[in-house]
Structure 1
Amino acid sequence: MSQYNLTLINVNNEKFYLNNKMIALNETNILEKIWLNAEINDKIINRVYEYKILNNYDFRYFLFNFLRSIDEIYQTKIIPILYGFSLDFNREIFEKSSQIGIIHLVIISGMHFNLLFLIFTNIFKKRFKFMPIIIIIVYWALCFKTISVNRAFFAIIIGLVLKKYQANTNYKFLLVFGSSFLFTSNINILNAGYWLSFILSFLIKKIFDKSKALDKIISYFYIWILSISIQLIWKDRINLTSYVAGILFMPLIEILYLNLTIFILFPLIPRVLINFLEFLLNILVNYQIIIQNSLVINTIIWTISIFIFFGHFIDKKVK
């Protein structure tokens, strides 16, 4: 195949050829095990979105290959959702999630890391207190290292260090936020998803604190308003369906995500969960209400958000 200058091999030892006319990977003339997010036609890679070299000595290679041997749904849907790796995967879930504006709930983010950590912290709170930390480190090691993944991991680790040394609450928040920002900041800070993951992570922490149930519900609603405000900055059109769906979808997605993680070795359960997710996405895609964004709408939403931020969260801290 002289017209191709790069051969890639996937975990099933199938060869793929990269068209040398396409600007894609920096490496040439390599033979590697990879996980690839790309446009592939007849085993010819026409366009590469992202990739990760995954060699035989990488334990993820054995784990993902084992999961795929159980059921193909692991490769096409579950592994991309849980760990961010993909090869020949089904893009439909991500495309529909993006279309209705809830992609930030589906992709790996700080929200998922905080949920896992807090759930296992409550499970092991009396014995084996070190287990949640080990689980988070293992999960981070399994994931594709995106900005959101690294930020979430560093935020948890730095928070644990500060807790051990009994740092002041305000100082702790500033240091965790600042360190996470510096570790991961680049041009993606201009993306709504970058800031949404901070807000959603705060929400997960809020749900597990010791405040009353009514206070948690009110905070949940306020954080939902704040997340809408952030999204509106980047929107010419407003999908009303997505904002209503967001407040309902958030707990559902996290329950689904948690169960996928816990029951990953039982293929029937992940298949049912994925089918349920696709069913909900199809309903939301088919019934969308969209209006044009405007300066007036932005001003109203941001005014409400500022009052919420200073009137609820800041005032509560002062009291």
Structure 2
Amino acid sequence: MQKVWLSTTYYMDPAVENLSGNAERLMTRAIAYCGNAETGGKITRKALGNLGVPASRSRVAELCAARILVETDDPNVLEFRTWGEWQESGDALARRKKADRERKARERERKKRQEEEGSSRDMSRDVRSTEKRREENIPTYVGSSSHVSNAGEPDSRPSPGAVGWEDPTTGQVHIEPASDPVLDVDVNVARGPAIDATPWKLIREAIPVEHPQAVRTALALEVKMLLAGGTSHEDVKSALGLWMQKPGLGPRTLPSLVSEVIRGRSAPARTAAARPSTTDARVQAVQEAKAAERTNGRRSIFALGSNAPAELAQ
């Protein structure tokens, strides 16, 4: 294989995000090595150590822990776990090229045999033509005879680049133009499964990196489902902020926090609708003032020391 396929968003994969720089470099070099050697994603531990990355054993252990490399039946051989998913087109192209090379070798051998057989037929034809011309030169006294052509038989040898086969029943050689299937193959560049970067972008903006990767991944899955269900980015971002403010909550409580954000946004509108109008407030204030004046008037009358409070009250 002259090239291998690597997703343009491979670095956003959770398994790759926690790798060290040298481990990621070892991973990309190992992918290129497997493509060049056409091993189908398998690589020996010795080959991993010869790829020029320092502390290769620790980096190999790191890749195995992330489940990027997995062990095989041979303890000295490791294998890329998702090689068949990402490199399927490349492996198929390599197999087709190998089959084409073998087919062309068989065609060259068959063509060589046909040329040898054609040379033998040409020699026999030349002998027959010489004998025929000798017979024609013998004087005859026949009054009339049919015209006999002394032209040689057409060359039945296949032209260069053609494939021929002989019919066993008639002995006739059929010539077919050769074709190169490699030139007719339309190979599309493999892209792998597309990774939506939006959930992880929201996670990186709202959740510090100190949180465990498993928790961040679970939150990213919840965010992805919420966005797919039609929840806005702002509501999801606000819910992530609430999740950070409330300790003891798990990642699966994120949908409930989104509902809390939506309720909080619509609460002020309901409060404003229940508030009395300005006119009603003024009427209530006037009534309260009149009641206060009546109460104060009674108190002032009683304060005069009258002996007939009932009459004054009337």
- Structure showing greater radius of gyration is 2
TM-score (norm 2): 0.22
Between the two structures, name the one with larger relative contact order (CA 8 Å, sep ≥ 6): 1
Structure that is richer in strand per residue: 1
